[in-house]
Structure 1
């Protein structure tokens, strides 16, 4: 059977300005990163333009490569390689109509197991449409259903209890731990049916909000485990559900979390925009504690750009808002965020700014409660790198070793990244026997070795 040329793909390749050779090379890079090595050439691209459709997950990787060139998200339907099954649509959908939020999210959760998420890369442009639509209408309640099972406060409370349990698991065991992975089961088998049930408007809003927080937690776990594309999709669904729950406060928290991922993936200026948007659009609808969190993320992103003044201003706003939070009630999902957590992040802010002495002054205030195993280990990694910035090898090694020993009990790709930062900071002393001993110890404790 004669294939028809793929005009949609041809138009995007032309608009991207990429040569066939360069495009094939980028697809090979993405495939290798996904654990699926390929050896495509310019001839392969010509075949795709002629109508041939490569096996999964190559269409998604091709769309990603074109999206990187075009500076926006591109899906497989746009390149003329739409999946044969309509349920293969990903989790980046963010409908204008809040009534669609629950169905879109349920479809995503239900079909996750059928899709490949083998370490696909983070694509910052994938956040553009969802963030824009949320900024236009951060709160717009989805209408209630006339049919389905009756859902009340009891079922809503159960979802919030599941979210609280998931937060505790994540803090203690890390995002890659099997316990944290049960969040998706809860979304698929419990939250989705409840969202399709009959409820009052108040309970319906609450169900959307609880599902949004569970989806945010699933995204956070995926981010912590290094599954960045999957994390993005969970975050987009969380943002959509929060809006459909008429909950601008939770939406601001989700958006700030998305900004944190964006910053960590190397896009600090975009993260600043997202954090500022979360702060400005939540306004009076958000508690001081949630707004403080948006300012903390803005401060961290500014530090990554080297803008000390902007970072200090945002951190000062965060501190003032946390002071105000003592007099007001805050949502349970952000109860962990207080002065000690702010101080812990301030250590990283000033480490990133190359101010190890200032970082050390914040470190003295950064005591975290029991159970926050990963947070303690990450802070110690940052503190170790600050000591090394200051030229203090003894303290850098001592604190770095404590960090390794704590993080050895956490299943977290992010933890490995932080320990790798310590390893990189030790480069000037690479010939020292005790540095080699530290590195050997880190590799043994972390089993899979260091990232980087």
Structure 2
């Protein structure tokens, strides 16, 4: 049985100094990027550490904290020794609850150990527990949440944990192998919403936000794996949840992804309208980076409409907003939106407008700037570069970039990336040349991707 008594971490609170919890969380995320780590730190996490609820950080956070405070130990930072908060049973239980790709770091922090124990001892919530942990066979059936159980911190935290875990796995492996399993925690989250038994209004608000973010994450997996009808359904579900809860940040996120999907499925005007709606909602939120991303979504739609002037104006607004830097109000999900992604999205605009050399310049910058930790995005940027170089007439350079994409496809499963590479191959086939032939031969040996799955929406 885990003790519920928490001892405040005063040492960690002193380290924050005069900074707000959000500002300190942003500093931690920046420090993580400096060493190639990816942590989804926010003000809530800081509060949980300072209150003593999290007695020992996971290994990723430990590396970040020791990088931020050289020479300090975990004890100096106010944390308990790892062995005092985890035993063999906890580690085994956590591992059993996470049958994910073997390349995923298997260490889980104290909070996930506690959450799983809470869930797995709550009777008919067992299926929801397995689902929210991206569980295995037991999560295949319908989700059951008893009407008499009140939804509290443990359940809401499990939903938020599932969102972060899906994003991490997508960053490393791509969407194709994740979509089916990720649908299970989404059903569990909405079953909790349907139960309508949140213990406090703040808990209900967090549950709505978490379920909506989970719908967007699952929608993205559908989007990236070519299940466009499913993606559209999930994004619409998130948008409806946001409006019911009055959650402007979630609504802006839903519009952002809906715009992206509309562009990818040839509905350019819808892409522009969704991006514009997202910008209106996001305006009061205080995040220039969010406005920058939404402006780039608008630019992408305008590029597909052939509106070069409108596209350039939207790109200009995006760059101005982006250069204002990071703010505490930047949403947690936007950790991927760095300068490399900015360059990539601009490359896609010039590509849609048929300016292949300019597109290739931006795509090349994206590949040089991208953190190699984000394997999926690195493969995506190189695939964009391959296509742009091929269309610009630089066949040998395109072949070199194509080889780099193939180097990553044993770790990344993304129908979208495969589709981009296939389009580049069609352009290169008639070109010939030693480099091109070598790339095409290697491409032909590529194992087939997963079978297409009909959309359920």
Q: Relative to structure 1, is the Cα distance of residues 450 and 209 closer, same or farther in structure 2, using a 3 angstrom cutoff?
A: closer
Q: Distance in 2 between matches of 1:163 and 1:236?
A: 17
1:344 lines up with 2:337 in the alignment: no
1:265 lines up with 2:304 in the alignment: no
Q: Distance in 2 between matches of 1:270 and 1:191?
A: 27
- The answer for the alignment partner of 2:280 in structure 1 is 280
Q: Relative to structure 1, is the Cα distance of residues 153 and 340 closer, same or farther in structure 2, using a 3 angstrom cutoff?
A: same
Q: Distance in 2 between matches of 1:449 and 1:161?
A: 27
Q: How far is the alpha carbon of 1:287 from its aligned partner?
A: 2.4
Q: Distance in 2 between matches of 1:224 and 1:286?
A: 29
Q: Relative to structure 1, is the Cα distance of residues 167 and 360 closer, same or farther in structure 2, using a 3 angstrom cutoff?
A: same
Residue 374 of structure 2: which of 372, 375, 383 is its match? 372
Q: Distance in 2 between matches of 1:211 and 1:449?
A: 28
Q: Distance in 1 between matches of 2:242 and 2:333?
A: 13
- Over the aligned positions, Cα root-mean-square deviation in angstroms equals 2.7
Partner SS state of residue 176, structure 1: coil
Q: Distance in 2 between matches of 1:202 and 1:195?
A: 16
Partner SS state of residue 149, structure 1: coil
Q: Distance in 2 between matches of 1:215 and 1:442?
A: 34
Q: Relative to structure 1, is the Cα distance of residues 361 and 435 closer, same or farther in structure 2, using a 3 angstrom cutoff?
A: closer
- The answer for the alignment partner of 1:224 in structure 2 is 224
Q: How far is the alpha carbon of 1:213 from its aligned partner?
A: 0.7
Q: Distance in 1 between matches of 2:365 and 2:327?
A: 21
Q: How far is the alpha carbon of 1:443 from its aligned partner?
A: 2.9
The TM-score normalised by the length of structure 2 is 0.62
Conservation of the 8 A alpha-carbon contact between 2:363 and 2:384: no
- The answer for the alignment partner of 1:401 in structure 2 is 403
- The answer for the alignment partner of 1:85 in structure 2 is none
Q: How far is the alpha carbon of 1:445 from its aligned partner?
A: 2.2
Q: Relative to structure 1, is the Cα distance of residues 199 and 323 closer, same or farther in structure 2, using a 3 angstrom cutoff?
A: farther
Partner SS state of residue 447, structure 1: coil
Q: Relative to structure 1, is the Cα distance of residues 207 and 286 closer, same or farther in structure 2, using a 3 angstrom cutoff?
A: farther
1:439 lines up with 2:440 in the alignment: yes
Conservation of the 8 A alpha-carbon contact between 2:406 and 2:443: yes
Q: Distance in 2 between matches of 1:286 and 1:163?
A: 23
Equivalent residues in 2 for 1:3-402, closer than 5 Å: 148-178=148-178, 180-193=179-192, 196=195, 197-285=197-285, 287-366=287-366, 367-402=369-404
Conservation of the 8 A alpha-carbon contact between 2:189 and 2:211: no
Q: Deviations over 1:322-347 (max 9, x none)?
A: 22342443121112212221112222
User: Between Structure 1 and Structure 2, how many residues are aligned?
Assistant: 307
Residue 426 of structure 1: which of 425, 428, 443 is its match? 428
Q: How far is the alpha carbon of 1:371 from its aligned partner?
A: 3.2
Q: Distance in 2 between matches of 1:435 and 1:334?
A: 37
Q: Relative to structure 1, is the Cα distance of residues 439 and 449 closer, same or farther in structure 2, using a 3 angstrom cutoff?
A: farther
Conservation of the 8 A alpha-carbon contact between 1:299 and 1:312: yes
The TM-score normalised by the length of structure 1 is 0.62
Q: Distance in 2 between matches of 1:411 and 1:326?
A: 31
Q: Which runs of 5+ in 2 are unaligned?
A: 1-139, 142-146, 453-457
Conservation of the 8 A alpha-carbon contact between 1:416 and 1:450: no
Partner SS state of residue 445, structure 2: helix
1:415 lines up with 2:417 in the alignment: yes
Q: Distance in 2 between matches of 1:336 and 1:148?
A: 40
Q: Deviations over 1:27-76 (max 9, x none)?
A: xxxxxxxxxxxxxxxxxxxxxxxxxxxxxxxxxxxxxxxxxxxxxxxxxx
Q: Distance in 2 between matches of 1:165 and 1:155?
A: 15
Q: Distance in 1 between matches of 2:319 and 2:148?
A: 46
Partner SS state of residue 324, structure 1: coil
Q: Distance in 2 between matches of 1:349 and 1:332?
A: 26
Of residues 436-445 and 215-224 in structure 1, the stretch that sits farther from structure 2 once superposed is: 436-445
Q: Distance in 2 between matches of 1:436 and 1:361?
A: 24
Conservation of the 8 A alpha-carbon contact between 1:255 and 1:274: yes
Q: Distance in 2 between matches of 1:443 and 1:409?
A: 18
Q: Relative to structure 1, is the Cα distance of residues 192 and 239 closer, same or farther in structure 2, using a 3 angstrom cutoff?
A: same
